[in-house]
Amino acid sequence: MECIITIELGTNAVRVYAFDLQGNIIGSLKGYCPTFHSEPDYSEQDPDQVFITMLYVLKNLLTEKIHPKKYKVACICFSSSMHSVLAVDKRGNPMGKAITWADNRAIKEATDLKQTTLGDKIYKATGTPLHPMSPLTKIAWIKNNEKDKFKQVSKFISIKTYILQQLTGEYMIDYSIASATGLLNIHKINWDADALKFAGINSSMLPELVPVFTRAGKLSKAYQTSLGLPASTKILIGSSDGCMAILGDGVNGEGAATITIEDSGAVRVMGDKVLQDDQHRFFNYLLTENRYVSGGPTNNGGNIFEWFTRQFGDFKNPFDIEHSMRELISEASRVAPGSNGLLFLPYLLGERAPIWNANARGVYFGVNIKHEKAHFVRSTIEGILYGIYSIGKTLEEHRKIDTLCINGSFGSQPFVTQMVADIYNKPVRLRQNYHSVSYGSYLLSATEMGIFKSLDDAAKTVSLVDMVTPDKQAHQTYLKYYKLFARLSTKLSGEFAAIAALQH
Amino acid sequence: MNQFVLDHSRSDDQYLRLFPHIKEIGVIKNSSIRLGGFPYSPATDFEIYYVQDGKFEWCVDGNVFYAYPGDVVILLPGAAFGNPNGVLEIGSFSWIKIEGDGIQQNRYWVPGEWSRLNKEEREQVGSVICSGHPPILQKFTDAGNILKNIQAELSAQSVGYRAKVNGLLDELLIHIARQFTKVTNPGRDFPRTFMEFEQQLRKNLSHQWTVEEMAALIGMGTTLFNERVRSYSGFSPLSYLINIRISQAIKLLKDPDISLTDIALDTGFYSSQHFSTTFKKLTGYTPSQFRKNHLKDK
C-alpha cells in the first residue's frame, strides 16, 4: 500500500500528516518550534531547530505509523508559511536566524517604498503588499542596516528552501513561496528587475524558481538510512500554507471564498485573474501558472481572544487556556448579538488588510454603566469577526462571494462559525478535525501522481460536510454595528498614530 | 531598640542546641533611627526577613527597594543585603538564617539532612529558590506566621518541639518555592511559561537535566508537567531537550575550531560517543561526516 506524507513548516510548529491514496488520514504528529523575539520588532526562527524538529517528527511518524504497517511512501510534499528570509554564506550555512512573516524591522523600508511610484509599480508586478512582512523589504533592511553581513551573503533563501537543501542538496523555491517574496513578477513568472534592484541583489542570489509539482532532488544517502526510505521516494517541493489552505477546502473560482482564523487570519479567493487593487489592499499569490490565490491577511485573530482570556479567564485549571476560553464563550453566548451596544476594534497588533495601519490599536467603544463582563467577552469576539468581515467586503468589490468555507482552530469553533455566517449572511461550510493545509498538500501530491487530472479536478472532490446557515435577524443587528466599526476604523487613524507614538 | 536573638555564639546555647542548621533567628523592634545599625554586607547563609511594621529602604545586590509590612526578603548565601546607607530604620522585622547542605557555595542552597523532605524534593525546592527570582515576595503573610510559630516553639520547648520546628521550616521553604513560581507564572500563559522554560534549558544546556528538575523550574508536578509539555509541544520534555541539543550541536559543528568532544559536552551529551550515536540516529550522519559536508563551498 502506498501513502503520501505532507510536511507543513509553520512559525510555531512542524506538522506532519500521512494520507492513504484516497486521502484518508493514517496518522499525524506535530512538533513545537519556537519563534524568538530578541528585539520587540523581531520575530525569528532557528533554521537548524526547524530542520531537526522536522526530522524528529517525520522519523517518529514513520516508525510509529508507516513502517510497521508496511506502507510504501510514494511522496513527501512540503508546505511552509510565507515571507521567511534566511541569509546563507558560500558554504550554505545560515548567517543568523530566519526572519519570519511577523517580523516588523523593515517598517521604514516598506513605508518609504509605498510612497513612491516605484512602489506602485513593484506592487502591481509582484502582487505582494508593500509591508515589513515582505522579503523584499527585509532584504533591503539588511542591505541598509547590516552592510558587512550583506556583503558576505551568498544567497537569500526561504526556510523551506533551507530544509529541502539540507535533505537533497538542491536550492529551489516554488512559485507560491516565491510569489510571496515581493520579488517575483507574477504575470511573467520571473524575478522582477525593479524589485531586485530595490533589494540590492541579483537573481543568482535567489534559489532556482520552479513550479509546485517539482521534485526537489533526491533524498541524500544519510537521510535515506536514518528515515528508512528508499532513494526513489519522491520529494515534492509543494506550495505555501496559504495556497494549501484554500485548495484543501476545495475553494476555486467565482462565488466562493475561504476564511482561515488561527492566531492571525486571512480571507482568500482563487481564480485565473490577478485582483488589481489601486489601494494595494490585497495579496495575489501564485499556485500555478494560471491560478492566483488572492485576499487579505489580518494580524488579529484567535490571538486576540487568547489575550482577553489570559487577562479575564478564570483559569480554574491552571495552564488550561482552552478550558477558560470555553467558559468565556459560554458566557458570551448568553448575551444577544451586538453585545447591547458595546463595540470592539480588535487592532491590538496593528492591522494589515484592509486598513493596512501598523499604528491601529484596540478600542472598546460605547461602554455604558449597564455593561458587564459577558458583554466585553462577546464584543471581543464580534470585533475580531467584524475585522474578518471587513476583508471580505473589500474582496466583494472585485469578486462575487456566495458561499464561505472556514478553517483554523479559532474559526472552526461552533460559536465563532455561526457568528461568521450571521455577520456575512452567507452559509459557511467546514469540517471538524480536518486540517486544510495538509489536505491541500495531499491533493497537490495526488494530482502530481496522476490520481487527479488537474488541481481543479482535485479541488472538486473536496466535500466539507458541515454547513452553518445564517440567522437573518442577527445579521441585521450586526450590520448596524459593522457600519460603525468601519467608520471608527478609518476615522481614528490620527488618534491611532498619536497613541502609538505615546506607546513607543 | 528591642531585640531578641538566638544563635550558637553563647555558651548557654540551650534553645538552638538541637538545631545546628539554624544559625540565627531573631526579631527586632526599633523605635529610633540608628546610624550604622543595618550595614550593607553579604549574607552568610540562606536568610529570610519578614517585615512586621514600618517601611524599610533595603538593597539586595545593588537593587534598592522598599519593603512594607507583610513583605518577605529572601537571600541566597553571598547576596549583598542591607540598608544602602547602613541605617536601621524605625519599625520591626523578624529573620532566620539557615545553613545549607554540604559545602557553602555562592548563590546556591538546598535544605540539609535535617529536612523531612526526601532528597528529590529537597533538590526541587532548592532549584526553585536558586533560579534567579527577584529577592522580594510582597504581601506574603503566611511566611510571617510560620516564622512566629517557629519562634514560639523554640521558646516553649514543649514535648516534640524538635520535630515541630523542623516541620515548620520545611513548610516555610515549600511556601516560598510555591510563591516564587506563582509570581513568575500565574498559570495563565503556558506558551510564555514554556518559552521561559526553554530559555533556561538553553542557558544551561550542558547540565544533566532531569524531568523532576525541569518541572520544578516552572513549579509544576512532574505528571502534569509531562502532560502539558507533550500536548503543547508534541515532544516529551526530554525529547524536546535533545532537539535543542542537536540543533545547537549543528551550529557548533560548522566551526572547525571546536573539538567534537567539546561540542558533545557543551551540548549536554555524556561523551562524544553518546553524541555521535544520538546524532547519527536522527540525521544518518556521524558528527564528523556532517562537519565535513558543511565546510565545503557550495
Domains of chain A: 2-243 (3.30.420.40), 302-392+476-503 (3.30.420.40)
Distance CA B71, CA A270 (A): 61
Q: Read off the CATH number of the domain in which B165 is found.
A: 2.60.120.10
Q: Which of A8, A163, A77 is nearest to A442 (CA)?
A: A77
B164 and B247, same structural domain?
no
Chain A hits for B183, CB-CB cut-off 8 Å, are none
Interacting residues of A186 by C-beta distance below 8 A, sequence separation 6+: A125, A126, A127, A179, A274, A284, A285, A286, A292
Three-state helix/strand/coil letters over A92-121: CCECCCEECCCCCCCHHHHHHHHCCHHHHH
Domain containing B242 equals: 187-298
Nearest to B295 among A59, A91, A223 (CB): A91
Distance CA A138, CA B283 (A): 31
**Region for residue A295 given its phi and psi (left: phi exceeds 0; alpha: psi -120 to 50; beta: otherwise):** left
Nearest to B282 among A31, A56, A321 (CB): A56
**Contact between chains at B228 and A224 (C-beta distance less than 8 A):** no
Domain boundary among B184, B214, B239: B184
Total beta-carbon pairs less than 8 A apart between chain A and chain B? 82
B175 and B86, same structural domain?
yes
Distance CA A428, CA A426 (A): 6
Distance CA A446, CA A436 (A): 15
A254 min Cα distance to partner chain B (Å): 39
Is A362 in the B-facing interface, judged by CB distances under 8 Å? no
Nearest to A222 among B189, B250, B284 (CB): B284
CB A208 within 8 A of CB A171: yes
The yes-or-no verdict on residue B12 having pLDDT over 60 is no
Distance CA B223, CA A462 (A): 41
B253 and B135, same structural domain?
no
A60 — phi, psi (to 5°)?
-65, -45
CA closest to B194 among chain A residues: A34
Residue carrying the nine cell digits 562537519: B291
Chain A hits for B295, CB-CB cut-off 8 Å, are 91
**Contact between chains at B187 and A318 (C-beta distance less than 8 A):** yes
Strands, DSSP E only, in B76-188? 80-82, 91-98, 136-137
- pLDDT, tens digit (0-9, with 9 covering 90-100), for B32-73: 999 999 999 999 899 999 999 999 999 999 999 999 999 999
The yes-or-no verdict on residue B103 having pLDDT over 80 is no
B83 and B155, same structural domain?
yes
**Region for residue B129 given its phi and psi (left: phi exceeds 0; alpha: psi -120 to 50; beta: otherwise):** alpha
Using beta carbons and an 8 Å cutoff, which residues of B are at the interface with A? 186-190, 193-195, 198, 220, 228, 232-235, 239-240, 243-244, 246-247, 250-251, 254, 280-285, 289, 294-298
**Contact between chains at B234 and A92 (C-beta distance less than 8 A):** no
CB A9 within 8 A of CB A16: no
Task: Indicate the DSSP class of residue A203.
Answer: G
B193 and B179, same structural domain?
no
B130 and B36, same structural domain?
yes
Residue A490, Cβ neighbours under 10 Å: how many? 12
A210 — phi, psi (to 5°)?
-140, 155
Domain boundary among B168, B184, B200: B184
B34 and B136, same structural domain?
yes
The yes-or-no verdict on residue B106 having pLDDT over 60 is yes
Residue A463, Cβ neighbours under 10 Å: how many? 8
Q: Which is more confidently placed, A295 or B122?
A: A295
CA angle A271, A275, A278 (to 5 degrees): 175
Distances (CA, A) of A117 to A121, A123, A274, B230, B274: 6, 10, 20, 51, 59
* CB burial string A217-250: b at 16+ within 10 A, e below: bbbbebbbebbebeeebbbbbbbbbbbbbbbbbb
Distance CA A374, CA A367 (A): 13
B119 and B221, same structural domain?
no
Mutate to test the interface with A, among B233, B236, B248, B286 (most CBs of A within 10 A): B233
Nearest to A56 among B187, B193, B243 (CB): B243
B193 and B176, same structural domain?
no
Q: Which of A120, A124, A259 is nearest to A188 (CA)?
A: A124
- pLDDT confidence of residue A155: 98
Is A10 in the B-facing interface, judged by CB distances under 8 Å? no
B109 and B6, same structural domain?
yes
B169 and B71, same structural domain?
yes
Domain boundary among B129, B152, B184: B184
SS3 label, residue B158: coil
Distance CA B178, CA A406 (A): 43
- pLDDT confidence of residue B130: 85
The yes-or-no verdict on residue B167 having pLDDT over 90 is yes
Tell me how many domains chain B contains. 2
CA closest to A228 among chain B residues: B284
Q: Which of B28, B123, B136, B127 is nearest to B79 (CA)?
A: B136
- pLDDT confidence of residue B131: 77
B217 min Cα distance to partner chain A (Å): 15
Nearest to B198 among A34, A56, A93 (CB): A34
Interacting residues of A6 by C-beta distance below 8 A, sequence separation 6+: A16, A17, A18, A19, A76, A77, A78, A79, A238, A438, A441, A442, A445
Beta strands at B56-60 and B63-67: parallel, antiparallel or unpaired: antiparallel
Residue type, B240: Y
- pLDDT confidence of residue A321: 87
CA closest to B232 among chain A residues: A32
DSSP state letters, A264-310: SEEEEEEESS----TT---EEEEEETTEEEEEEEES-SHHHHHHHHH
- Cα dihedral A122, A125, A128, A133 sign: negative
SS3 label, residue B101: coil
Q: Which of B172, B205, B44, B165 is nearest to B109 (CA)?
A: B44
Helix segments in A204-283, DSSP class H: 221-227, 241-248
Q: Residue A265: beta bridge partners?
A: A261, A298
Question: Cell digits for B225?
Answer: 508537567
Angle of helix A117-126 versus helix A107-114 axis, rounded to 10: 100
Is A287 in the B-facing interface, judged by CB distances under 8 Å? no
B274 and B134, same structural domain?
no
Task: Indicate the DSSP class of residue B8.
Answer: S
- pLDDT confidence of residue A284: 97
Q: State which residues of chain A have pLDDT below 50.
A: none
Distance CA A156, CA A137 (A): 13
CB A224 within 8 A of CB B284: yes
Task: Indicate the DSSP class of residue A348.
Answer: B
CB A161 within 8 A of CB A144: no
A269 — phi, psi (to 5°)?
-130, 160
- Give CA A380 to chain center in angstroms: 22
Cα dihedral: A80, A85, A91, A93 (round 10): -80
Chain A hits for B225, CB-CB cut-off 8 Å, are none
Nearest to B234 among A32, A310, A319 (CB): A32
